[in-house]
A and B are shown apart, each in its own frame.
Chain A
Amino acid sequence: MTDTTAASPRESQVASLLRHSRHVLAENPVTGFAFALFLLIVLAAVFGPQIAPYDPLASNTAQALKPPNAQHWFGTDQLGRDVFSRVIVATRLDFFIAVASVALVFLMGGFAGVAAGFFGGWTDRIVGRIADTIMAFPLFVLAMGIVAALGNNVQNIVLATAIVNFPLYARIARAEANVRREAGFVEAARLSGNADWRILVSQILPNVFPILVVQMSLTMGYAILNAAGLSFIGLGVRPPTPEWGIMVAEGAAFMVAGQWWNAFFPGAALMIAVFCFNLLGDGLRDIVDPRRRT
C-alpha cells in the first residue's frame, strides 16, 4: 500500500493535503480546538495513572463525600476516593473501549462492505441482509441483548458496540467499492492478471480507506456514549474500576441528596470527550470530503 517509488506525486499530494488541512483549520478554528482537546484526552489516556494526584482506588472514609476543595479538585466520593484522580484514570478505559470497538467495526464492516460492493451477487445479498437485520433493532437495545447473551464483560461491550455500528460501515464501504469496481485502474489490474482478491486488497481497499477513517472519527463519539450507557446500567465494567459511565451511576444516588460532584465530573468528562470526537469527525470530513460539508 505504501509506495515509495512514486515519491514525487505522492509528496505533492501530501503537500496539497496539508495545505488543504491548514485552510480548513483556518476557516474553522473549532476543529483546531477539538484537535487540542483530543490530544489532551490521549495524554490523559496514556499518562493517566502518572498524572492523577491520588490512587483512584484508595478509600479514605474520614474524607468521604467532601465537596470540591483545594486538595480534592473534584471532591471525594462516598468512600473518600478522589474524584479527580478517578476521572483522569478512567480516560484510558473509556478511550480504549471506543478505539477498540471502532477499529473492530472498521475491519468487519470495511471488509464485508468492500467485498459486497466488489463481488456483488450472493456476497452482496448476505452482507446486505445481515446489515438490514441489525438495523431492524433499536441499536442500544441490541447491544444490551448481545452483552447479556455473550457475557457481562468489557470485551463483549467492545464487540456489541462494534456490531451495532456494522451496517453503517458496511453500507459506506459497499457504496464506495461499487463505484470503483468498473474503474479504469481496476480493469488495468485485472488485465495484468491479478486475482480478484488481490485487486480487492491492493486496489479497492486503499481507495475506500480514507472515507472509512472519517467514519471512524464520526462514530467514536457514539461508541463512547454506547459503552458508557451500557456500564451505566451495570453491564461490563465492575466497581471499583474507574470508568465514567459507572461513576455517574454510582454518583446518581447522591445527586438527589445534593452531592452533585460525584456524578457531575465523570459525566462532564464523558460529554466533553463525545463533543470533541463529534467536532473532530466533522472537521476531518471537511478535510477528506469537502462536498459533504454542512
Chain B
Amino acid sequence: MMILIIKRVMMAIPSLIGVVVVTFLLTRLLPGDPAVYFAGPAATPQAIQEVRVKLGLDKPLIQQFGSYVFDLAHGNLGTSLTTGQPVITELRTRLPASAELTLLGLLVSIAIAVPLGILAATRPNSLLDHTCRIISTAGVSLPVFFTGLILIYVFYYLLGWAPAPLGRLDVFYVAPPQFTGFYLIDSLIGGDPQAFIAALKQLVLPALTLGAFSLAPIARMTRASMLAVLSSDFIRTARASGLSNWTVVITYAFRNAMLPVITTLGMVFSFLLGANVLVEKVFAWPGIGSYAVEALLASDFAPVQGFVLTMAAMYVALNLMIDILYGLIDPRVRLEA
C-alpha cells in the first residue's frame, strides 16, 4: 500500500509542475506590458518602471520563472491591487467558506445520486429508472447559476423558507469562534446551536444547487456500474445461495460497483470546483470564487492567478486522494503497484 501511495504521489508531480508552468505563462500572455497591467490603470511611467523592476520583468524569462517558483515555495502569491492585501492571506481566510460549500454540495449529490442509481439499476425500465434518466439528463443541461436563482425565487421570495441569499451567516448572528473555518463544525465546537442552524439555513440552497449539478454523472455511473455487476455470475450464485436481497445488492454488488463511481468523482470535482464560482456569485458567498470574480472584473490579475493555482493544486490533490482511495477499496490495484 505504501508503494502505491508513493507511486501515485510521484505521478501527481508532473501535473503540479504543469500547473505551475501554465499559471506562470498566463501572466506572460497578458496583452500589452504585464508591468503596466500590474501597476494598475492610473500608474505613471515611473511607477510602471518600478513595478517592472520589482516584479523582475526586466530579467530573462527563465530567471523570472525561477523567482516565481521561489516566491511560490515561500507562499508568496503577490498582492491584490484593489484591497492591498497579500493574495495568500485572503485566499486562506476565504478558502474554508468555499470548501464547506463544495463538500456539502458533494455530500448532497452523493446522498441522492447513489441510492437513486442503485434503485434504478435494481428495477430497470421502471418508473424510478426513467425518473433517474430524466433527472440525470436535466441535471447536466441546467446552468448552475440558473438553478440557484430559481431556488432563491421559490424558497426565499415565494415561500420565505430560506434566509436572504447574502453570505454565510445572517447579519444578526456572530460568526462562531474559528477552529476549522467551517461554520457548521465551529458552531458545534463552540456550543452555539443557534449559529449552527443559522449557518445551515444559509448553506442549504447553495449546496442543493451544487448537488443538483453534480448529481447527473454520479447517478448515471452508479446505475450503469450496478447493472453490469448485478448481471454477473457471483451475484447469481449469491442469490441462488438464498442470501437476502439486501445482502446481495448492498454487500456484494454495491461494493464492487463503487469503483467506477469513485473514478467519476474526479470528473465531478472538476465540474464542482468550476460551478462553485458561479454559485458563490449567485449567493454572495464570501469564498475564493467570488474573490477571483471581483478581482477579474477589476483587472487585478494577482488574485486571479493565485485562485487558479489554488484550485488546480486542490484538484490535483483531490485526484491523488481518489487514486489512493481506489487502492484502499480494490486490492487488485494494490497488487499491481
Chain A proximity of B298: nearest CB distance (Å): 10
Q: In the docked arrangement, what's the CA distance between A263 and B148, Å?
A: 11
**B275: interface (CB < 8 Å):** yes
Chain A, range 253-270, C-beta contacts under 8 Å to B: 255-258, 260, 263-264, 267-268, 270
Question: Is the CB of A278 closer than 8 A to any CB of chain B?
Answer: yes
- Residues of chain B contacted by A240 (CB below 8 angstroms): none
| Contact status B146-A267, CB under 8 Å | yes
Q: Which of A204-225 contact B (CB under 8 A)?
A: 221, 225
Residue B305 CB within 8 A of the other chain: yes
B152 contacts A278, CB within 8 Å?
no
Residue contact B14 to A145, C-beta cutoff 8 Å = no
**8 Å CB contact of A144 from B14, B296, B315:** B296
Contact of A275 among B18, B138, B271, B307 (CB under 8 A): B138
Q: Which of A141, A221, A294 contacts B312 (CB 8 A)?
A: A141
| A252 at interface by CB-CB < 8 Å | yes
Which residues of B in the span 269-323 have a Cβ within 8 Å of any Cβ on A?
A: 269-275, 277-278, 281-282, 292-293, 296-297, 301, 304-305, 307-308, 311-312, 315-316
Cβ-defined contact, B157 with A256, below 8 A? yes
Question: Is A114 positioned at the interface, with any CB of B under 8 Å from its CB?
Answer: no
Q: Is the CB of A263 within 8 A of B149?
A: yes
A-B contact pairs, 21 of them (CB 8 A): A133-B22, A136-B15, A137-B22, A137-B311, A139-B274, A141-B307, A145-B23, A149-B30, A152-B296, A229-B278, A232-B278, A233-B278, A234-B293, A234-B296, A255-B149, A256-B165, A260-B157, A264-B150, A267-B143, A271-B146, A294-B220
Closest 6 CB pairs of A and B: A140-B274, A133-B18, A267-B146, A138-B273, A275-B141, A145-B308
Contacts from B to A (Cβ < 8 Å): 14-16, 18-19, 21-23, 26-27, 29-31, 137-138, 140-146, 149-150, 152-153, 156-157, 164-165, 220, 224, 269-275, 277-278, 281-282, 292-293, 296-297, 301, 304-305, 307-308, 311-312, 315-316
